[in-house]
Structure 1
Amino acid sequence: MDRILYIVNPVAGGGRTKKLIPIIDGHMKGREIDYDIVLTNKPGDAVHISKESLKRGYNKIVAVGGDGTVNEVALGILEYGQGVLGIIPSGTGNDLARTLNIPSNLGEAIEVIIKGSNKKIDVGIVNDNVFLNIASIGFDSEVVVTTEKIKKRLKSRFAYVLSIFLTLINFKDIKMRLEIDNISYDKDIFLIAVGNGKYYGGGVQILPMAVIEDGFFHVCLVNKISKLKLLFLLPTIINGSHIKQKKYVEIFKAKSVKVITKSKTYLNIDGEVKDIDNEILFTIKKEKLPVIISN
């Protein structure tokens, strides 16, 4: 019999996720299923909670939150070596859930946890960090950094939109050497996205060709482009049609990707930004991660 643990990040989705606890309880009560609900208190909690709960016999560990919460629960499962990841999407982006077609409706998502089937998906590693969805360098990472600065003064959903325009004004293309499956390229790039999933940034279809279980990274490279032409390209990235713009966009499929930059830059890992100096290496783990999806 299944034992299900719901790990709730109470600050996900601007604090809305905490309000889901009584609703989850309402859906689970009356069923002959052993379950429990716990809250995280700080970043990293979900990793520890996942491992401890697996030791106690839980077999389905459900991340209730955004992509950051999902990432932590997945890391706990991978470190322990067994267990299945479930997802209740309730964060800001929910991009992995979108790729996996997990319902945004809470009741429907819980039914998937109870009745769904398991799918084994690829797990990426970038400079010792696990990621399930997409990691990227360039313009979008700068936008996330700018957004966090703006949010300190402007608590509004327009903070992200404003940060796009502010970043665009100041952004300079990044000079880098790329090694994609040991073939080298010297590039001035606007953006490089490496991933397993199709979406990031809350539904932007940066890798529409990606297959999350095929054992390969899918790579989108946007080369140096004038800011005027970029204004026309950006809307196409939302629906994935940018991949047709072959003059500016290159698509690759690879087992490993190395990026070497001459200056400090930012790396966006499933929505979390880290400072990076010089070298970034993307590889795929041999082990796949079981995730509950709709039948």
Structure 2
Amino acid sequence: MISRIFCLYGLLFFIFLIPENGFAVIRHVCFIVNPTSNNGQCERVWDSIEGALDEYYVARGSVDQAAALVGPTYEVFLTEHPDHATELAHRAYQNWQQGQHAHGDQLLIVAVGGDGTVHEVVQGLENHQQQVVIGVIPAGTGNDIARTLRLGNPMHALRSLVYGRPTPFGAYKIEGCQRGTCEKKTVLAVDEFDLGVTAQATKKKNEHDSGERPSRLLRCSPRKMVYTMSALSSAMSWRTPTVNCSIDRGSSFNIPLNLLAAGTGPTIGGGVRLFNGMRPNSDQGQLLYSLRRAHPISTLFQMTMQRLFNRSGLQQARFTQMDIGHHSQAPQNIQVDGDILLQTPAQVTWMPEVFQFMRPPEPGDFGYEAMRREEELISLEFFKR
């Protein structure tokens, strides 16, 4: 009888000791919400899932101290200006460092927004992957990072934080000139970076969205077609410059710059599949660039062929380090995770497994069956209504 009671208590202790998100001991969750992401749609997404947080976590400062001792606590911050997510993430990490927690406990910082929000959150956290796990709830325009992680709708992403497991995630370290100045700046690209027509299209779209340079063409375009129209408009006026590159300290070569891009996963630009062999845990980065001088419209067509058939005439290369310079022309803009942040000359280094990102559970994972059963129950309740 005593042995049965002992086994029962041992089992209960084991259940409470291991967190629901596998063997990553997440003890606190910090949600960083960008309410302006996707033209304000992120705020609606957050409102739709915020009420479910208390089902999985305990609010910091909750009167239910017993629950706080067993389950992870959480807090929520809203961004108010550009780069605010970076500040909030750093503050959350510093507070975590100063708090009391066991060795091996981890902090989960969740970016609620688009790829740009994720970009801001991770800056400066690359040396803390053993203590910090990054989560994503997709509520932006492109959501390529969420797509790479195979996250579904926002509720699926929230449940993946609870039942999922951390996975290694690489990034491109880009050292270049800050836009409009000669000051050196280093940023990490966790989605993609590109130069050429696509960077010009991003610049034109961002200037239109911010009201800095409104475009009549983009104003009259359907929302889902704005980037496409921006790309076509940019291609018509693009004067293909030449940049000088070297890969892994090899011989330098010239590129007629219609396109030069690299991604951390298969897709960029809101689901455009250009890097079929690329994964966030790859040992090297994957580059795609235009090798022959052609009309920029032709390059856009090649990108379409690459997306559809994985064959296009565009050059592909694996690399660890790449140097990009410009000739007598003006410095070229570098788009990083959805914003024009840098200019050439620049050095790009692939940094494998520099972060841990939370992914959904897979068959055989600790939380797979629990998440599957929960989603089945939710589906049954939905159809009963």
Question: Does the alignment reach a TM-score above 0.5?
Answer: yes
Q: If you compute each CA radius of gyration, which structure gives the higher value, 1 or 2? A: 2
Counterparts in 2 of 1:24 and 1:186: CA distance versus 1, 3 Å: same
Residue 173 of structure 1: how far off its partner (Å): 1.7
User: 1:37-96 CA distances to partner (integer Å, 9 max, x unpaired)?
Assistant: 110111111112112222333711100001111011112533656310000010111111
1:123 aligns with 2:171: yes
> 1:150, 1:159 within 8 Å by CA — same for their partners in 2?
no
The aligned residue for residue 200 of structure 2 is 142
The aligned residue for residue 43 of structure 1 is 82
Q: Which of 220, 235, 258 in structure 1 is aligned with 2:288?
A: 220
Residue identity over aligned pairs, in percent, reads: 22
Describe how 1:1-295 pairs up with structure 2 within 5 A: 2-31=27-56, 32-57=71-96, 59-78=107-126, 82-103=131-152, 105-127=153-175, 128-151=186-209, 152=211, 153=214, 154-155=218-219, 157=223, 158-183=225-250, 184-223=252-291, 224-227=293-296, 229-230=298-299, 232-239=301-308, 241=309, 243-245=310-312, 248-262=313-327, 263=329, 264-277=331-344, 279-285=345-351, 288-295=354-361
Residue 230 of structure 1: how far off its partner (Å): 3.9
CA distance in 1, matches of 2:285, 2:300: 27
CA distance in 2, matches of 1:258, 1:169: 28
> 1:123, 1:284 within 8 Å by CA — same for their partners in 2?
yes
Q: Which is worse superposed, 280-289 or 208-217?
A: 280-289
> 1:77, 1:84 within 8 Å by CA — same for their partners in 2?
no
Q: Which is worse superposed, 29-38 or 114-123?
A: 29-38
Counterparts in 2 of 1:21 and 1:187: CA distance versus 1, 3 Å: closer
Counterparts in 2 of 1:182 and 1:77: CA distance versus 1, 3 Å: closer
Structure 1 runs not aligned, ≥5 long: none
> 1:112, 1:292 within 8 Å by CA — same for their partners in 2?
yes
CA distance in 1, matches of 2:303, 2:274: 10
Helix, strand or coil at the partner of 1:13: coil
> 1:8, 1:38 within 8 Å by CA — same for their partners in 2?
yes
> 1:175, 1:261 within 8 Å by CA — same for their partners in 2?
yes
CA distance in 1, matches of 2:141, 2:227: 12
CA distance in 1, matches of 2:341, 2:332: 9
Counterparts in 2 of 1:285 and 1:167: CA distance versus 1, 3 Å: same
CA distance in 2, matches of 1:22, 1:106: 11
CA distance in 1, matches of 2:119, 2:193: 12
Compute the TM-score of the two structures, normalised by the length of structure 1.
Answer: 0.90
Structure 2 runs not aligned, ≥5 long: 1-25, 57-70, 97-105, 176-185, 362-385
Residue 228 of structure 1: how far off its partner (Å): 6.1
> 1:133, 1:197 within 8 Å by CA — same for their partners in 2?
yes
Counterparts in 2 of 1:235 and 1:269: CA distance versus 1, 3 Å: same
CA distance in 2, matches of 1:89, 1:13: 10
